Amino acid sequence: MSITPIILILIPLLGVLPVVFLPAQRARWTATFTTLAAFLASLVAAFQFGEGWSDGGFHFETAIGWLDSIGLTLNMHADSVSMMLILLTTLLMPICVIGSFTAVTTRQKEYYAWLLVLQAAMTGVFFAKDLIFFYICFEFTLVPMFFLIAIHGGDNRAAASVKFFLYTFTGSLITLAALLWVAASHASSDGGSWATAFDIPTLTEHARELPRATQAWLLLGLMAGFAVKVPLFPVHTWLPLAHTEAPTAGSVILAGVLLKLGTYGIYRFVLPMLPDAVAMYAPAIGVLAVIAILYAALICWVQEDVKKLVAYSSVSHLGFCVLGLFALNPMGLQGSVLYMINHGLSTGALFLMIGMMYERYHTRDMNRVGGLARRMPIWATFMVFFVLSSVGLPGLNGFVSEFLCLIAAFTASGDAGLAYPGVLGPWFAAIAGVGMIFAAMYLLIMTGKVVFGPLKEPGGHGGHEHGSDHGGLPADLNLREIGLLVPLAVLCVVLGLKPGVLMGPLEPATESLLVDAGYPAAVRSRLLERRIDSVESAVADGSEADAGVAAGTTAMMSLTATEDGHDG
């Protein structure tokens, strides 16, 4: 039996029905069975994906008619990038469900039902080939997460859920307006026909032909929604509160998958649709990414709430991911997609660790709890491991993706002779690299306080096993909790030692995106414009020598750009 996209979307949706209608005590087991079934189905789909892992193309083409006369269909497909993110989603969901067994004891039916609806919506985003279907799934992810935070979150859950919803909903509306404008423009150019106006590949080809000024406005509109979702500085302020107040599973899904909807949107829409505008404004977006890396890292340094520290670290880490995307070369795109996967594993695991600690001590304040290696040696071992993964220790998964993003930005210089010239360069990589040092400092300082040093426990926790006070939980991790962490730890090691497992399939997909969008030529054209501006400036300043050198370089770049155009 072939596993199609619709099956992977329907499995969690069908699981909602028994969760809602069966007795509450069966809800968690029904959700567990459903998410495990979806994970196994995704593994079968990955096996059946076949040549899709090596040819860089789209497979699993699925078309379901809806309102065909106006171009509304449920079209789905997947490439290697989509499949990797779907596998990440289906892996994390059963971990979140099983990890909630003791953390969520009230209103369980609606809690597990919302988790399953959320999984279906996230899977739909990665499979979508139709614009309206993409937007429905992209936007509907807000609803389950809103209720998960508002009902099962912390003391400040009302403000956190509202802020999360308003920020992301507003940004998404602006993105929808930009995408609908492209659809209307295509329909107008196609004699008023809307038959293919919402087909994403068709819209991508149409948007590439638009004037640069138009692309620039569309870039602003698309980034308004995707940057909020990442989140990128300065529209990141909703995330720390949402992470801090969300239940543990909510934080894991936020870090592991929901934030990746923003970077995936940039990868799937912004880069292939708007090459001329991206080539012009990539340095500005790169500056915002570097600010996010350093600014959020400095905020992490002064945090006393360990969960809020990890939340701000996501803003910093995903700054590297965005920087890799706008390096506009294969290494950057591969590093960025790899970062999406690795961040979901390591940071998702850190939120699990913090949730396990919170279940026992009901505090995340590093001034009130610390030295837990004495009380929880197994927990402490996993905590140190995932911190090192997040820091980017060589041999673990975080190092490879972070290094690739930095090297990609470093090599994205204005050398027109490169196969993939860029508009960033060494300064972006050097300044962003400082963020790696900051990350090591704040994460290791946090580890020193929480894991090592003298034992500190809130009042009433000293010297007992916590079993009677915390739902039967032992002082250290039980087998259920260890079983949740082991798969994540194994993947962190495997992807650290053998990153080619993912990089091999990513290479054809990322190169295909860059070539089809015409990035080498678009970037060379932008570099040529810069050089012409430099010549004009030198002439205006009366520097004949500088003007002569600049003019010679300009002529060579012009010849290169012309050759690129003929090759195309």
Q: Which residues lie closer than 8 Å to 379 by C-beta, 6 or more apart?
A: 353, 356, 357, 372, 476, 477
pLDDT tens-place string over residues 209-231: 999 999 999 999 999 999 999 99
pLDDT band with cut points at 50, 70 and 90 for residue 562: very low
- Positive or negative, the CA dihedral 347, 127, 36, 116 is positive
Is 238 a residue whose pLDDT tops 80? yes
Residue 265 main-chain phi, psi, to 5 deg:
-60, -40
Q: What angle do CA 308, 314, 317 make, to 5 degrees?
A: 140
Neighbours of 110 (CB within 10 A): 18
Report pLDDT for 461: 60
Residue 130 main-chain phi, psi, to 5 deg:
-100, 135
Q: Could you give the C-alpha distances from 51 to 46, 80, 481, in angstroms and in order?
A: 11, 10, 37
Task: Decide which of 181 and 70 is more confident.
Answer: 181
CA-nearest of 247, 265, 264 to 161 is 247
Report pLDDT for 4: 80
**pTM, entire model:** 0.90
pLDDT band with cut points at 50, 70 and 90 for residue 71: low
Q: Is omega for the bond preceding 283 within 30 degrees of 0, making it cis?
A: no
DSSP state letter for 454: S
Average pLDDT over all residues of the chain = 87
Evaluate whether 368 touches 458 at the Cβ level (below 8 Å). Answer: yes
Stretch 386-413: mean pLDDT = 92
Query: Exposure of 365 by Cβ count < 10 A (0-12 exposed, 13-18 middle, 19+ buried)?
Result: middle
Secondary structure of residue 77 in the 3-state scheme:
strand
Residues in the chain: 568
Q: Which residues lie closer than 8 Å to 13 by C-beta, 6 or more apart?
A: 116, 117, 120
Query: Exposure of 135 by Cβ count < 10 A (0-12 exposed, 13-18 middle, 19+ buried)?
Result: buried
Stretch 61-65: mean pLDDT = 80
Report pLDDT for 70: 65
3-state SS track over 459-496: CCCCCCCCCCCCCCCCCCCCHHHHHHHHHHHHHHHHHH
Residue 233 main-chain phi, psi, to 5 deg:
-55, 135
pLDDT band with cut points at 50, 70 and 90 for residue 198: confident
